[in-house]
Structure 1
């Protein structure tokens, strides 16, 4: 079964949904899955240097207080998944374009899932700037990618344009928020549905 997960690397619900997806897949011992990642940019106009998180919250939600109930709920759900979000550590809201390039670069490696998980962990648990080239290179190198290949990929305008094009493709499919999961190219799961729900839908669409 082909599975495509549309996500953004600064989306906490995507981290939760990604975790639940792989818990669900682990329940199918004798079935083979082909997992693909598709980028979705929550902030497509974010400069590559990112912006201060306090300024971002002010711009997007009006204030930090307005955003807090949503983040509290997300953090609670993450905790239930064994993910200890520490949003107070986050100082920069980054552009996620380069992180998506890194994910694309690893698509032929068995470590791709771990690269995605490490990007999420670096941001939501460690508070690292995942728009920072050095931080992303460290993640890539630790998971089997070559330093020079990563550097070249990040400098390529074609790669940046490709992420922007794929983001537009997600919008053209009617996707306006993530995570979204397609089973055999049919959008079936929208939002961070429970592991039980994902299992049920995989069985139904088998």
Structure 2
């Protein structure tokens, strides 16, 4: 068992951010490249599109507002899909019919984190959205995703019908914004050092080793 102090990494990201989808895979690859370093990985909320209403909007309306038209997004999406494929991920933007507000998704991740299943919940929601075109505005889609990650259907269904932890999740997202985080994914190491963008796993692994060495050198003094 390692006697090293664990390195904390907070990943600030959103479920509907394609680069966050890619970035999650890359941070996990980086951690795997430095197996000797104990890491505590936590996913923190960010609202990429806070203007989208709680009930969501049609995908075409969203793409028109954000990019000018659905057609203008196709070229961007093609490049992202190619990058995702290189990471072994599937991105099928043409399957997405509805653009969600992601506060309920972040609530699910928050609840799943309480039983150590935050990363799994994050992954399942991203797969539903990017790979399957799932409707993340549908409570039953969210409940099913939660069940697949070890949560109780009736409990989650009841919680989603309330505003439980809306303030908590919103406060976490606001805290990130107050710290100057405006682009995601952003990796925050040891609550001090922030790196933005879906960086190369080799570079992240190098940073993990370096920061772990500094952290444990300080602990030994």
TM-score normalised according to structure 2 size:
0.88
Residue 97 of structure 1: aligned partner? 103
1:77 maps onto 2:80 in alignment: no
Which whole-Å deviations, capped at 9, do the CAs of 1:43-97 have from their partners, x for residues lacking one? Answer: 1121121111011000111112322332222111101001121111000011111
Q: Does 1:189 align with 2:179?
A: no
The equivalent residue for 1:56 is 62
Asked whether the 8 Å contact 1:153–1:159 carries over to 2, the reply is no
Q: CA RMSD in A?
A: 1.4
Q: Does 1:31 align with 2:28?
A: no
Question: Which structure has the greater CA radius of gyration?
Answer: 2
Residue 147 of structure 1 and its aligned partner are, at CA, apart by 1.8
In the alignment, is residue 110 of structure 1 matched against residue 113 of structure 2? Answer: no
- Offset of residue 26 of structure 1: 1.2
Choose from 76, 87, 106 the match for 2:93: 87
* Contact 1:52–1:91, Cα closer than 8 Å, also in 2: yes
> Secondary structure, in 3 states, of the residue corresponding to 1:182?
strand
Task: Please name the residue that 1:153 is paired with.
Answer: 159
Distance (Å, rounded) in 2 between the aligned partners of 1:93 and 1:13: 16
Residue 131 (structure 1) aligns with: 137
The corresponding residue for 2:53 is 47
Task: Give yes or no for contact 1:3–1:33 (8 Å, CA) kept in 2.
Answer: yes
Displacement of 1:24? 1.0
- Provide the residue aligned with 2:217 in structure 1: none
Quick check: 1:179 aligned with 2:212?
A: no
Larger CA deviation: 129-138 vs 158-167: 158-167
Structure 2 spans left out of the alignment, 5+ residues:
1-6, 213-221
| Residue-pair matches, total | 206
Aligned equivalent of 1:14: 20
Give the secondary structure class of the aligned counterpart of 1:24: helix
Q: CA deviation at 1:159?
A: 1.4
Is 1:66 the counterpart of 2:72? The answer is yes
Identify unmatched segments of 5+ residues in structure 1: none
Runs of 4 or more above 6 Å deviation = none
Partner SS for 1:3: strand
Separation of aligned partners in 1, 2:169 and 2:51: 13
